Amino acid sequence: MDVRANTIYFVVTDRFHNSDPRNDRGRDPGSYDPTRTDWGKYWGGDLGGVIEKLDYVRELGATAIWITPVFAQAGGTTDAEGRGHAAYHGYWARDFRRLDDHLVADPADVHVFRRSDTVFDRLLAEMKRRDLALVLDVVCNHSSPELGRHKGELYDDGEFLTSYEDDRLGWYHRAGGITDWRSEHVVQQGELCGLADFNENVHSFRRYIKQVMHDWVGKGVGALRVDTVKHMPLWFWQEWVSDLRAHHPHLFLVGEWFQGGCWDPASVEFANRSGMTIFDFSLQRALEDCLARSHYEGFQAVQNVIDHDEAFARATHLVTFVDNHDMPRLLSVGATPARLRMAVNLILVGRGIPCLYYGDEQLLHDDTNGGADPYNRPMMAIWDPQAPLARDVRALSRVRRQNPAVQRGYQQPRWLSPDTYVFERAWGDSVCLAAFNRGAARSVGPVTTTLPDGEHACVLSGRTVRVERGRIGELALGADDSLVLSHVAPEPSAKGTRITFQLNGYATTFGERLAVVGNCPELGEWDAAKAPLLRYVNANLWEGDVDFTSSAGGLVRYRYVMLKDGGDPIFESVRPRRSWIPPSGAETRLDRWGG
């Protein structure tokens, strides 16, 4: 399955579901609050709770679950962030090779690398049985803040390694707090919120953190969400990703570059050069401004973000979201349930890989202090699969899995105003047309579309829309309304080995097409007229699939060519690329014209 067919469901494990009250107190009973009124302490959620709710998440239509870090955490509470705060969130690691005791029912389960039957192993097995992938949250930038007299105390499966006070390995920076957010050097070496900051220049630390994450993936983890990537240099991430991919070539990685997106050049460079994708904070902010703050630009700001997709090598791999654990939920900053519904529905069929924050489908929120951290992390309380937004998530996640246009297609606006947004995505003959209306009911049109002529039913409401001669004469939209039409055309199944070619760096003009040509029958044997065509995704990305049969299991040479009606082909002026084609399976080649 194409990674872009996924819908991710993000769980703050401590706030999701409590399967066993016996582990609630952990090693430090004072860091647990049974009344669930102290928002900085543990509330009891555990890995067994995630297992017990897997059927609920699967029924929502999600295909992957991102859980907060599971590493053993520093004990106690700290005022490093201005309040008494325990490590319930999982980002203050004490031992990267043990499970945190709050997450396990059997204390022996913390020894996750000495056994293969821990609760973590059971979670992976139960998820695999339901065709769910686990996205594990990991941290390479820091360990823990000062808790009592301990800061940065780090163990390796119980064996002491180092601490901030006794840094026998030289693993910590000692640059103090971040005083200048405009300085890359200060941001990368300074301490975020008093957290002991690792020194990536020390080779033994890099060797350790690479091996630890390799071991977690080796357990069966399907993807990694990587915390605080802006706080470590690009070269470190390139080395770290390269090492992981050498062992796990298909591992999906997404980095949390806070407030990153098309408006932040440093985050764009990271997304293009690190080997990871990033979360699309630019799109989130545009959706928040449009649907929670009723900003005058409205949906035009949303499309403006999409118009900058060419900045990225693979914009369709950006992870999109509406809410997360670091920002107030949309319902806390002014959105109504109908507006939240529009935002969630839009990312489910829009470009990128959508990530739903736990409880959004049940309208979960707490508006204390404007819903800011930690009040954006309430305890999950309702599990209604028939809640209105839960039904939408289920329907649109199915569309994402089934319709290649939603996974791969260009997002083209068909009608755009501050209050109304109609866009279409197409891949071959498969099409998805989505419409969103902010405010009062209205009709727009005519709307051009590549949907086949005839009646099409909205997958959310069942109401029908007629297409005649490639147009919808009048599209009626209700107040704060969402409408999605999906047409899936049959596609030939893969024969042999399917290679997806993705090409950046050629700005085409009208009438120009790009193709991949090579020395084998599947690539036209250097005949540009027989070369497989790629499809336009955005101004910086063309993409296409080629099935290798007779050439599978061998080495091929290829390069790209621009074709234009009535004109001569233009080939890349580079030596042909060399690529080994596996005997079976599917792989991707990401290239740059002339690179």
Q: Could you tell me the residue ranges of all domains in the chain?
A: 409-487, 497-592
Q: Model confidence over 39-98: pLDDT tens digits? A: 999 999 999 999 999 999 999 999 999 999 999 999 888 765 556 789 999 999 999 999
Identical topology for domains 409-487 and 497-592: yes
What whole-number distance in Å separates Cα of residue 277 and Cα of residue 351? 14
Check pLDDT > 90 for residue 565: no
The pLDDT of 516-528, averaged and rounded, is 96
How many C-alpha atoms does 258 have within 13 Å on its Cβ side? 12
- What pLDDT shows up at residue 279? 98
pLDDT classification of 38: cutoffs 50, 70, 90: very high
What whole-number distance in Å separates Cα of residue 29 and Cα of residue 473? 65
Q: Model confidence over 320-338: pLDDT tens digits? A: 999 999 999 999 999 999 9
Q: Which CATH superfamily is domain 409-487 in?
A: Golgi alpha-mannosidase II (2.60.40.1180)
- What pLDDT shows up at residue 83? 61
- What pLDDT shows up at residue 80? 55
- Per-residue DSSP letter, 492: P
- Amino acid letter at 22? R
Q: Which residue has the higher pLDDT, 124 or 1?
A: 124
Helical segments of 336-403, H only: 337-349, 388-402
The strand pairing partners of 99, in sequence order, are: 71
319 contacts 278 by C-beta, under 8 angstroms:
yes
pLDDT classification of 175: cutoffs 50, 70, 90: confident
The pLDDT of 347-363, averaged and rounded, is 98
Number of Cβ atoms within 10 Å of the Cβ of 203: 8
Q: pTM (2 decimals)?
A: 0.96
Of the chain, the percentage scoring pLDDT greater than 70 comes to 99
- What pLDDT shows up at residue 79? 67
- What pLDDT shows up at residue 147? 80
What whole-number distance in Å separates Cα of residue 115 and Cα of residue 99? 12
What whole-number distance in Å separates Cα of residue 170 and Cα of residue 159? 17
Q: Model confidence over 407-446: pLDDT tens digits? A: 999 999 999 999 999 999 999 999 999 999 999 999 999 9
- What pLDDT shows up at residue 229? 97
The strand pairing partners of 224, in sequence order, are: 136, 253
142 contacts 228 by C-beta, under 8 angstroms:
yes
What whole-number distance in Å separates Cα of residue 252 and Cα of residue 347? 19
- What pLDDT shows up at residue 529? 93
Q: In Å, how far are 234, 412, 431, 538, 544 from 514, measured between CA atoms?
A: 31, 19, 21, 13, 10
- What pLDDT shows up at residue 549? 94
Q: Model confidence over 213-246: pLDDT tens digits? A: 999 999 999 999 999 999 999 999 999 999 999 9
Through-space distance between the first and last CA atoms of the chain, rounded to whole angstroms: 29
Residues 6 or more apart whose CB falls under 8 angstroms from that of 43 comprise 14, 15, 18, 32, 33, 36, 88, 379
Q: Which residue has the higher pLDDT, 358 or 182?
A: 358
Residues 6 or more apart whose CB falls under 8 angstroms from that of 52 comprise 17, 19
The pLDDT of 340-350, averaged and rounded, is 98
- What pLDDT shows up at residue 55? 98
Q: Which residue has the higher pLDDT, 504 or 27?
A: 504
- What pLDDT shows up at residue 81? 55
- What pLDDT shows up at residue 25? 83
What whole-number distance in Å separates Cα of residue 424 and Cα of residue 418? 17
Q: In Å, how far are 18, 182, 263, 274 from 260, measured between CA atoms?
A: 33, 14, 7, 14
**Domain 497-592 is of which CATH architecture?**
Sandwich (2.60)
